[in-house]
Amino acid sequence: MSKSPLIEVKNLKQYFPIKTGLFKTEMLKAVDDVSFYINEGETLGLVGESGCGKTTVGRTLLRLYEPTAGEVLYEGTPVTDKNIFSMRKKMQMVFQDPYSSLDPRMTVEDIIGEPLDVHKLYSGKGERRDKILHLMELVGLNAEHATRYAHEFSGGQRQRIGIARALAVDPKFIVCDEPVSALDVSIQAQVINMFEELQEKLGVAYLFIAHDLLVVHHISKRIAVMYMGKIVETGTADDVNYNSIHPYTCSLMSAVPIPDPDFIRGRQRIVLEGDVPSPLHMPSGCPFRTRCKHACEKCAEAMPPLTDRGNGHMVACWVK
C-alpha cells in the first residue's frame, strides 16, 4: 500500500487503575494491545459483548482518555496532546445515548453551532446560521427546529442532532459509539441509511461500534471482533460473518436472530458456558479459553497472535 491509511491504531492499551483495597490498586485492562486501520471513506465495524472495551477504544482514539500505551496515526501523523485540538476538526464522535449527549439547556442551533464556535469556523453571524441550517438539512431536520430545545425531540431526531454536531467541523473520520442501540428498530434503519448516505456524499470514514451484528454487517466493509479488550478476529464483513473462524465469533454469529424459522431450526446454536471472567483477573494466555470448548494446554500458556488466514482475515486462535 503506497498511501498510509486514514486512521491507524498501533498497539493501543488503556488501563484504568481500580482501588481494590485500602492501599492496593489494580489495573483494569479495558483495552489491551489493539491494532487496526481504517481507510478513507471506509467503515470498520467493531463488535463485541458489553464491557469488552469497544467504547473505550473509540474514546481513547479521540484522546478523551489518555492512552496507557500505543499510538494513533492520522494520515501517518501521530495524534498527540499537542495537536489534538486541530485533530478534533478531522475526527469526531457520535454518542450512544441521544438523551444525555445533548445539553438540555441549549437550543439545537447552539448545540450544532458549538463546534463552529470552538474552532471559529465562520466569519459572521449570518454565515454561522447558514452553516447550521445546511447541516440540519443534511441530517434531515427542519430549519424551524433550530430554536428548539433537545427535550422537544424524539430519540431519532436527537441522534440526528448529535450527528449534525459531529459533522459541523467537516471531519474525515467519525467514531460512532453504538449510535443506534438506544433507538427503536424502525428508527435504527433510518439512521443507519443516513449514515450510509452521508458517507457517500461526504466521504467520511466510520469506526462503527455496535453489538448488533446484522447492523454492523450491513454498514461495514470490514469487521473487528473484540473480546475482553483484545481483537480476536478481523476481516472483511462477509469473511467474518460467513466464514468465522474464532470460536467466540462463531458463537456470536450463531446467536444472530434471523427471521427464517426453517433456517433457525436447522442451525446449531453455540451456547457459551460460564460467565465472562472478571477483567481484573484475566485468565492467562487466551482470555477466551475459560469458555472455549476447543481450549487446549497451549491456550493457557500464551495469547495467540493474530495470524492471516487469507484475504486479510486475521484470527487470534491457536486451535483453529
Partner 1 sequence: MEDKMPKKNPLSAQLNLSKFNSYMFQKASDEEKRQQDVMSESTTFFKDGMRKLFKNPLAVLSIILLGLILFIIIFAPMIVPYHYEEILSVDGIRDKGAKNLAPFTYSKLEQQYIENGGSRFPHIFGTDEQCRDYFIRVVYGARVSLLVGFFASIIVLIIGMAYGSVSGYLGGTVDLIMMRIVDVIYSLPDMLIIILLSVVLQTVLKFSPGSLFESLGTNMISLFIVFGLLYWVGMARLIRGQILSIKQNEYILAAKSIGAPTSRIIKKHILPNCISVIIISTALQIPSAIFTESYLSFVGLGVQAPMPSLGSLANAARGGLQSYPYKLLFPALAICLIVLSLNLLGDGLRDAFDPKLKK
- Residues in contact with partner 1 by CB under 8 A are 59, 62, 64, 84-85, 88-89, 92-93, 95-97, 100-106, 114-115, 118-119, 147-149, 152, 162, 165, 169
Question: CB-wise, 177 or 239, nearer to partner 1?
Answer: 177
Please classify residue 313 by burial: count the beta carbons closer than 10 Å to its beta carbon, then call 0-12 exposed, 13-18 middle and 19+ buried. Answer: buried
What three-state secondary structure class fits 92?
A: strand
Question: CB-wise, 96 or 188, nearer to partner 1?
Answer: 96
Phi first, then psi, for residue 47 (nearest 5°) are -120, 165
Instruction: Kindly state the smallest distance separating residue 237's Cβ from partner 1, in Å.
Output: 27
Distance, in Å, from the CA atom of 203 to the CA atom of 201, rounded to the nearest integer, reads 6
- Residues forming a β-bridge with 92: 174
Instruction: Kindly state the smallest distance separating residue 41's Cβ from partner 1, in Å.
Output: 21
Question: CB-wise, 115 or 279, nearer to partner 1?
Answer: 115
**Secondary structure of 177-241 as H, E, C letters:** ECCCCCCCHHHHHHHHHHHHHHHHHHCCEEEEECCCHHHHHHHCCEEEEEECCEEEEEEEHHHHH
Residue type, 234: T
Instruction: Kindly state the smallest distance separating residue 38's Cβ from partner 1, in Å.
Output: 17
Residue type, 154: S
Distance, in Å, from the CA atom of 38 to the CA atom of 207, rounded to the nearest integer, reads 8
Please classify residue 10 by burial: count the beta carbons closer than 10 Å to its beta carbon, then call 0-12 exposed, 13-18 middle and 19+ buried. Answer: middle
Question: CB-wise, 33 or 114, nearer to partner 1?
Answer: 114
Question: CB-wise, 206 or 227, nearer to partner 1?
Answer: 206
Instruction: Kindly state the smallest distance separating residue 118's Cβ from partner 1, in Å.
Output: 5
Question: CB-wise, 104 or 257, nearer to partner 1?
Answer: 104
Instruction: Kindly state the smallest distance separating residue 284's Cβ from partner 1, in Å.
Output: 33
Instruction: Kindly state the smallest distance separating residue 175's Cβ from partner 1, in Å.
Output: 8
Question: CB-wise, 60 or 251, nearer to partner 1?
Answer: 60
Question: CB-wise, 49 or 114, nearer to partner 1?
Answer: 114
Instruction: Kindly state the smallest distance separating residue 156's Cβ from partner 1, in Å.
Output: 15
**Sign of the dihedral defined by the CA atoms of residues 217, 219, 220, 225, in that order:** negative
Instruction: Kindly state the smallest distance separating residue 214's Cβ from partner 1, in Å.
Output: 25
**Secondary structure of 42-59 as H, E, C letters:** CEEEEECCCCCCHHHHHH
Would you tell me how many other CB atoms lie within 10 Å of the CB of residue 201? 9
Distance, in Å, from the CA atom of 174 to the CA atom of 209, rounded to the nearest integer, reads 11
